[in-house]
Amino acid sequence: MKLRWSSFRCAFSGVLFLLKTQNHARWHALISGLVIIFAGWLQVSKMEWLILLGMMALVWVTETLNTAIEQTCDAITLEMNPMIGRAKDLAAGAVLIAALSACVIGALILAPRLWLFLFGQPR
């Protein structure tokens, strides 16, 4: 099977567009980096790594799809349309649900280890 580099170029172009144009994506990048640093420093287990990386991926996927939906809606019309507004709100809501879930799960995994590091006793 021949590898199609143009497909990868298009995908990377999309990720670059996401990071250049979406403020929330830059926040996701910062927080993802911090989670990776803290998880490595606090020596989480392989299973916890899988969970953390899976949640980060979920946030990135929803943010990317949200941006794709917004771009598509804006290409259709820039006029106020309640159905397009609802579609954009739903897509943004999906990102919110994913991000809040990731925060809770990240805190459940990282907070006890951080507490133990800072105070030397289990919470």
52-110 per-position pLDDT tens digit: 999 999 999 999 999 999 999 999 998 999 999 999 999 999 999 999 999 999 999 99
Does some domain include residue 104?
A: yes
Active-site pick, 48, 63, 70, 79: 63
Q: Which residue has the tokens 């990720």?
A: 15
Average pLDDT over residues 6-26: 93
Does some domain include residue 78?
A: yes
List the domain range (segments joined by +) for residue 79.
Answer: 23-119
Contact (Cβ atoms closer than 8 angstroms) between residue 22 and residue 67: yes
Average pLDDT over residues 2-7: 74
CA distances from 111 to 24, 74, 97, 98, 122 (A): 24, 41, 20, 19, 11
CA distances from 57 to 19, 24, 62 (A): 15, 15, 9
63 in catalytic set: yes
Q: Is residue 121 pLDDT above 90, yes or no?
A: no
CA–CA dist 112, 107 (Å, integer): 8
Question: What pLDDT score does 43 carry?
Answer: 95
Structural domain count, the chain = 1
